[in-house]
Amino acid sequence: MRLKKMGRGALASIVSLAMGLGLTACGRDYTVGYVYVTTASGTSGLVNGYKVDYQQGYLVQLANSPLPSGGKNPVTVVASPDHRSIYVIHRDDSNVVHFLIGSDGKLYPQKTYNVTGSFPTDASIDAAGKFLYVTYTYQNTILPDGSQQQLYTPANPGPGGVTIFPINSDGTLAAPATFNLGRSPVKISATSPNHFVYVVAQDGETSANLFGFAQNPTSGALTPLPGVTINSGNVVSTGFPSGGTPAGILADSSGTHLYVTDLALNDVMAYTVSSSGIPSLIATASTDASPAGMTLDLTGKYLYVASSGAGAIDGYTLGTNGEPIRSTVSGTVQVGTGPTCIGMIGAPSTGDPVHAIYAYASNALSNSVSGLQMDASDGRLRQVQNTPFGANALPSCLVVVPTIPGR
């Protein structure tokens, strides 16, 4: 009789544990997060939304997916640090569309905001979640009658800039400010907790295309760091060494290291960042063809680079000073054609080092999303069940958002 009681007690404990983790008997009903992918299908953009299975990492398309992104040619998507909003940036309409994330991961469009320049290229939100920074290619000129006119074109390049949107507590955006920048800014990182913002440009006349700025945490305003010269008009601006065609930029969670990829050089450059925000180049590591977006795992031990020309994710371990060292177990992992962005998600609250550490890549030329599972012991990547996952035409980027307990 005692044995039967102990068996029932043990069973009850197991059931209770499973319920606490959100798992069912087959482990397929627990969602660890969501993946949102922007696509430039047809004349208007779309957002594909998926939920991430905890046990296997496979993606299940959300019930209202895909839905209109709210503009033409979305180039990137970013999530707020509180995981309650995403913002989609549209190049051809020069706008930002705000979406709220529902309790089931569904997206709900809220409002459209105009960027203060033309042809935006990228966006980033500061670590405090107070400001959205959007880089754009050309400034607009205000005419005497108050109207705006674009005076610059690819044949007549002029200065770009950054639109700075304050973010309200509900995720809406307040009236923006403008910061004028050098020619052809392409990527921005504002996530440093130390209030520094970094931009890379593709100005063919210089290889000093890394610009650093001090952020005013109250207003969001940017001040160039020593060593950065921002010129107006069709004049070269100069910053820190970065190569001629940088294509991706990433700051680590501590704000002490910075990583930049270069399309033409096929490498990733690593910088240490001083307390004053000055980046110093410490190492360069080779990549496969045409490296673009990057991500770090949640522990900051491994770096992954999307090499769009090779259809691969390149893996690196990080040395004692943050320098990237090509992984011996996942140096090159094939995904789809033309990967652009890569994001990671994990479930550290479960304390499980095996499950729920996943990476996803948007494959621009194969209209899909690739899923990979990371081994926490060595950073090894292997394909998840059912990968690749279908998406609409021309995925441009993605963002990965964890679930919020109790939402």
Query: Looking at the predicted structure, is the pLDDT value of residue 297 above 90?
Result: yes
86: in domain: yes
Query: Per the structure, how many domains does the chain have?
Result: 1
Residue 114's CB: how many other CB atoms inside 10 A?
A: 12
Torsion 93-392-53-253 (CA) sign = negative
Alpha helices in 86-226 (DSSP H): none
Mean pLDDT, rounded, for 150-164? 77
Residue with tokens 């709220």: 100
Query: Looking at the predicted structure, is the pLDDT value of residue 389 above 70?
Result: yes
Structure tokens at 79: 């999530």
2: in domain: no
Higher per-residue pLDDT: 207 or 325 = 325
Residue 119 sits in a domain whose CATH number is 2.130.10.10
Could you tell me the strand order of the sheet in which 74-79 lies?
A: 74-79, 85-90, 95-101, 107-114
Range of the domain at 321: 28-402
Q: Which of 387, 386, 385, 379 shows the shortest CA–CA distance to 362?
A: 387
Burial class (CB in 10 A: 0-12, 13-18, 19+), 208: buried
23: in domain: no
Condensed to tens digits (0 to 9), the pLDDT of residues 90-134 reads: 999 999 999 999 999 999 999 999 999 889 999 999 999 999 999
Residue 51: partners with Cβ closer than 8 Å, 6 or more residues away:
31, 33, 34, 59, 60, 62, 105
Mean pLDDT, rounded, for 153-166? 82
Mean pLDDT, rounded, for 140-167? 74
Confidence band of 407 (pLDDT split at 50, 70, 90)? low
Query: Looking at the predicted structure, is the pLDDT value of residue 25 above 70?
Result: no
Could you tell me the strand order of the sheet in which 222-224 lies?
A: 185-189, 196-201, 210-215, 222-224
9: in domain: no
Instruction: Give the C-alpha separation, 86 to 44, whole Å.
Output: 18
14: in domain: no
Query: Looking at the predicted structure, is the pLDDT value of residue 28 above 70?
Result: no
Mean model confidence pLDDT for the chain = 89
* pLDDT for res 29: 56
Helix/strand/coil for 177 = strand
11: in domain: no
Least confident of 2-16, 72-86, 210-224, 367-381: 2-16
Query: Looking at the predicted structure, is the pLDDT value of residue 4 above 50?
Result: no
Helix/strand/coil for 375 = coil
Query: Looking at the predicted structure, is the pLDDT value of residue 1 above 50?
Result: no
318: in domain: yes
385: in domain: yes
* pLDDT for res 256: 97
Predicted structure pTM score: 0.90
Structure tokens at 248: 């991706």
Confidence band of 346 (pLDDT split at 50, 70, 90)? confident
